[in-house]
Amino acid sequence: MGMVNLVGPDKIMHHEHFFHAALVYLAAAVISVPLAKRLGLGSVPGYLLAGIAIGPFGMGLLGEDTAEVMGFAEFGVVMMLFLVGLELEPKLLWRLRGPIFGLGGMQVVVTAVLVAGVAMMMGLSWQGGVAAGLTLAMSSTAIVLQTLAEKGQMNGAAGRNAFAVLLFQDLAVIPILALLPLLGSSVEGAEVGVLGGLPVWLRGVMGLGAVAAVVAGGRYLVQPVLRWIAQSELRELFTAASLLLVIGIALLMHVVGLSPALGAFLAGVVLAESEYRHELEADLAPFKGLLLGLFFISVGSAMDLGALGARPWVIAGITVGLMVLKAGVLWGIGGRFGMATADRSTFALSLAQGGEFGFVLVAMALQGRIFGEEAGEVIQLGIALSMALTPLLFLFDERVVRPRVSGKVEEEGREADVIDEKHAVLVIGYGRFGHIVGRVMETVGIPCTVLDSDSEQVELLRKIGFKVHYGDATRLELLHAAGAGHAKLAVLTLASVEKSLEIVRLLQRHFPQVRILVRVRGRLEAYELLDAGVEDVYRETLDASLEMAVAGMRHLGVPGHTAVRAARQFRRHDEGAVRRMAAVRHDRAAYLSEARQSVKVLEEVLRSDGEREIENSKW
Amino acid sequence: MMNDDRAKGMRVLVLHAHPAPRRSRVNAALLAAARGVEGVTVRELYEEYPDFFIDVKAEQEVVAAHDVVVMQHPFYWYSTPSLVKEWFDEVLTSGWAYGEGGTALRGKRWMHAVSTGGAAESYGPGSEHGFTVRQLMAPLEATARLCGMEYLEPFLVQGAGRLSGAEIGEWAGRYAARLAGLRDGDGEPGGA
């Protein structure tokens, strides 16, 4: 009975508005994002254009609740920072401390001071100037990280340094949020959550407590809970738990008046060493993508093109001026930190826009009446337009600047601090087979990213001290998260041939650069993988049985070298035979004839080897 | 003096290298003879390392624990079977056998016990093979010298393929006597 009521006509009517909005947003995204990508612009401008198209200055397809949608979509930024945190293990973060505080600190301070100076020359008070400076010093984490990742530049020097600057900005937002109200006429913080009425010291204690709770919870509570959920083997339940985790942290941070994005980042870092890291990444990535898309669409739709129409030159001047100033500062800093020319250009051009935190800060400054309505509007438009222009800067860098200096890139490229440890080898399945492969590779200094979908096994291995990630590699997102895009080698050692085939197909389709090595049980499974186009197929019993044959022969007095050669000879022959027979196995007659032929050839090979040996052994 | 003590019990190591020793009448007989000499250690390299993966540390320890090393093998392509070359390449490391600090072999004695398929007359200037066995073994001699070892005259069994059973027996006896002599310090400079 409940079912009928739930989907009854009145309920559908009730949700019609929601579905209408969803239809508009999704359709706009589905149409404009592929278009933008085809034009080489990346997804972000696609979303922005989609927003403009459906917004009040386009087709006007949206209702009045765009602000609400934007607020909701900002959650995408929270998720993105959680995911960024997941990629950053604490020790990696520690290694990046130099660029974060050096590059990031200089960028924020120098940009803020210069912008403040310009703003004061244009008639703002010093408080207004400082607020404007800090606001415009921010860059867009969402746009920059998304675009750098899409262009595969996250691991380059430019990507790493851009990331460091963005991270510093995200950190700096906290004290800035605390500082801004002090600049205004109203002393109380604009938005500090439900604790607003409490004394400042108590709020501080609560804030610290919340941070401690996130760190401790992430370390000691989340892990066992996720393990417990993973054991239920319900994929959607794990997704639900991932979402619950991030939403919970965001709300907790909001309640104590801290930045939800930063809280999520912190939680991400805490969980970066967890075996569920890749699974969490894979589960949340689509939500992050969609929410960020929604966020950009709402930024696009909220752009007040009317104000632009009224004062096009002022706003154009401010936008261009802002971008030139920011790029100039970044260029200078990049030079001071010894970046190569090509990297320096990417670094400077990629971060030369205002950011989403800028919107938040403007809103706060307006509430605190630190600067006027008019200045706020101009700053907001400047941020939005500079964000919209960013893809063009990326394009400019990619098509114009980089080709000209690319000759120097290799020579100047300096030693890399790697941001995300995406290894060249992906070991999928870390049971009794895979762990041998992984461990042997580690002994010669080849680190592996290890995935296993048996949570108990993963837990056990981690207790022993292995770095293993929990996850089902038949999911494309998980392969992405584990760095398949950068991998050179995938070692598949799963017991299930169906799963192996599934992963092989995913890898072949989406990561054609990866060389695939697969363990199979025997001949029949080998045929299937050979059919699928895998060349490196390893029958798990072959080497052990050959070793056993060698030992047996030697016990019977066959000279060691003779025994080893016989086994090797057999192996070489049999590997060839399996490949030949895979091709004809569906034709029974041909298969049998090939099999007979194969036996005969083997006998001949072994006999002639024996004769050669006798000939050699007369003296 | 000091040598009297040592001469009583020179530790002799026979490293035998034949891919299929039981198929070679001569080497099988020599091997059996060596096993019969008291105080001689015999190791079969092709049995220890049929896959050519030599345990370098183990080999170095064994060699270090002996005063005389006899490398017993058939003459293949004017040289040793390939595992012996691999043994040289892996075991005689810089800093152990030669080079700076490489003194582990210094003062030890080194001898090859070689069986050749061709008769003695087929070696030497103007003969079928054109060189003497000693000439052909120059790289081995140089190896021993670089490692500071005393290179002894090789123990040669020639025309090995055509020897009668009785002749093989005689050679085995001579081999055993030679090994016993090495153990007792025969020909040792300043020795007995």
The pLDDT assigned to B6 comes to 46
The answer to whether A139 and A146 are in contact (CB under 8 A) is: no
> Cα separation of A16 and A400, whole Å?
48
With bands split at pLDDT 50, 70 and 90, how would you rate the model's confidence at A457?
A: confident
> Cα separation of A529 and B47, whole Å?
37
CATH class assigned to B11-181: alpha beta
Least confident of A76-90, B113-127, B143-157: A76-90
Q: Are the beta carbons of B19 and A564 separated by less than 8 Å? A: no
Q: Looking at chain B, which residue has its C-alpha nearest residue A557? A: B22
- Tell me the C-alpha to C-alpha distance, in Å, between residue A417 and each of A91, A230, A336, B161, B166: 12, 33, 18, 66, 75
Token reading at A498: 């169906």
State how far residue A569 is from chain B, nearest Cα, in angstroms. 13
Token reading at A154: 């996250």
B55 CB near a chain A CB, below 8 Å?
A: no
The pLDDT assigned to A14 comes to 58
Q: Dmax over Cα atoms in chain A, in whole Å?
A: 106
The answer to whether A520 and A538 are in contact (CB under 8 A) is: yes
Token reading at B121: 């007359």
Which domains are present in chain A? 24-405 (1.20.1530.20), 425-616 (3.40.50.720)
pLDDT per position as a tens digit, A229-253: 888 878 788 888 888 888 888 888 8
Nearest to B50 among A564, A616, A618 (CB): A564
pLDDT per position as a tens digit, A121-137: 888 888 889 999 999 99
Identify all chain B residues contacting A614, using CB atoms and an 8 Å cutoff. 20, 23
Among candidates A412, A406, A444, which has minimal Cα distance to A425? A444
Report ipTM (2 d.p.): 0.78
The answer to whether A72 and A256 are in contact (CB under 8 A) is: no
State the alpha helices, DSSP H only, in chain B: 2-8, 25-35, 45-48, 56-64, 82-91, 133-136, 138-146, 165-183
Among candidates A59, A15, A50, A43, which has minimal Cα distance to A298? A50
B27 CB near a chain A CB, below 8 Å?
A: yes
**How many CB atoms are closer than 10 A to CB A165?**
28
Pairs across A and B, CB distance < 8 A: 57
Among candidates A194, A171, A178, A174, which has minimal Cα distance to A252? A194
The pLDDT assigned to B191 comes to 42
B77 CB near a chain A CB, below 8 Å?
A: no
Q: Are the beta carbons of B50 and A616 separated by less than 8 Å? A: no
Identify all chain B residues contacting A564, using CB atoms and an 8 Å cutoff. 50-51
B5 CB near a chain A CB, below 8 Å?
A: no
The pLDDT assigned to B93 comes to 94
The answer to whether A66 and A74 are in contact (CB under 8 A) is: no
Q: Looking at chain B, which residue has its C-alpha nearest residue A611? A: B23
B76 CB near a chain A CB, below 8 Å?
A: yes
> Cα separation of A546 and A548, whole Å?
5
Flag whether pLDDT at A452 surpasses 60: yes
> Cα separation of A138 and A143, whole Å?
12
Identify all chain A residues contacting B115, using CB atoms and an 8 Å cutoff. 619
Identify all chain A residues contacting B156, using CB atoms and an 8 Å cutoff. none
Q: Looking at chain B, which residue has its C-alpha nearest residue A618? A: B24
The pLDDT assigned to B8 comes to 61
The pLDDT assigned to A465 comes to 75
The pLDDT assigned to A267 comes to 84
Nearest to B51 among A564, A616, A617 (CB): A564
State how far residue A453 is from chain B, nearest Cα, in angstroms. 36
Least confident of A273-282, A323-332, A495-504, A605-614: A605-614
Render the burial of B82-97: b for 16+ CB within 10 Å, e for the rest: ebbebbbebbbeeebb
The DSSP output letter for A431 is S
The pLDDT assigned to A340 comes to 82
> Cα separation of B105 and A191, whole Å?
82
